[in-house]
A = this chain, B = another copy of it.
Amino acid sequence: MPLHNAAATETACADCALRRLPLFIEHSAEELTLVQSLKHREMRLGALETLIHEGQTDAPLFTLLDGWAFRYKTLSDGRRQILSFLLAGDFIGVQQKMGDAAAHGVDTLTPALFCVFQRDALWELHRRSPTMGFNITWLTAHEESLVDDTLLSVGRRSAEERIATLLILLFKRAAALQADAGAAGVPFPLTQQHVADGLGLSLVHTNKTLRKLERRGLHRIADGRLFLRDVKALARLADLYGDGRPPQRPLV
């Protein structure tokens, strides 16, 4: 994804790479102008850098334009839980109330490009374009449903099932951002430590489970790319219904 490299040259919203993705909806010229006017600047971070510190009080709003990142929380003794992974198009920072401390940190996984908005952009957006405001609400709700899915995994799935679920869901999200679906695989910039922290598992057990699935031919991770070798088997493990099909309650 060749975005402009020179710090001085910022992309106009109308030319934003995100808009080229089939995933994103059309916006009117006025909406684009509005967003453009709220856009404060762009920001570029390297891999494994911190965008928002846990407990930071003045974090602005961001949109992730390119790259991977993740939200997380830590306990005082260092135990870390990754709350969600962020891909291009994701909105960052709605969670913390204005003037409040950030409830979670955000780190990058890869070099990443962010669109930075002023603190009050959220309100301005609502005020000046209810349509966009509505979209934001919906986006926020969608983010929550991702966390819901993870909570189900971490709370009720076995290690194998959790890994299968994560691989499928991340694959789908990443695949939606690129042209060729299956053959080339999708980028997979997570270390096993990230996988572990995202699934509430230990690093060692994550490694062992990952290897087990790989040896069974369900997937393959190599050179920072993920390939799904046996989606059927993975989906069976993950107990994922085609999409949104209601689960069957046992007759017991």
Contacts and interface: CB of A to CB of B under 8 A. Distances in A.
Q: Sort chain A's interface into a size bin.
A: 35 or more
A247 interface: yes
Given A126-B126, A246-B55, A200 B155 contact: yes
Interface stretch (A141-149, A184-192, A213-221): A141-149
A101 B140 contact: no
Contacts of A101: 244-246
A81 interface: yes
Contacts of A71: 148
A104 interface: yes
A35 to B, nearest CB: 16
B148 A103 contact: yes
Interface in A77-107: 77-81, 83, 94-97, 100-101, 103-104
A118 interface: no
A48 interface: no
Contacts of A111: none
Given A83-B151, A95-B144, A140-B144, A74 B130 contact: no
- Quickly give the copy total for this chain: 2
Given A55-B244, A134-B122, A147-B148, A155 B199 contact: yes
- Among A79, A138, A151, A247, residue most surrounded by chain B Cβ atoms (within 10 Å): A151
Contact of A247 (B74, B141, B148, B247): B74
Contacts of A137: 94, 122, 126, 133, 136-137, 140
Given A53-B246, A122-B134, A75 B141 contact: no
A247 to B, nearest CB: 5
A249 B133 contact: no
17 contacts: A74-B249, A76-B250, A78-B250, A83-B152, A95-B141, A95-B145, A96-B145, A122-B134, A126-B134, A127-B134, A130-B130, A130-B133, A133-B134, A140-B144, A144-B144, A144-B147, A151-B154
Given A71-B148, A136-B137, 12 more contacts: A54-B247, A56-B246, A75-B239, A94-B137, A95-B145, A126-B126, A126-B133, A127-B130, A127-B134, A130-B130, A130-B133, A154-B155
Interface of A: 53-56, 71, 73-81, 83, 94-97, 100-101, 103-104, 122-123, 126-127, 130-131, 133-134, 136-138, 140-145, 147-152, 154-157, 197, 199-200, 239, 241, 244-250, 252
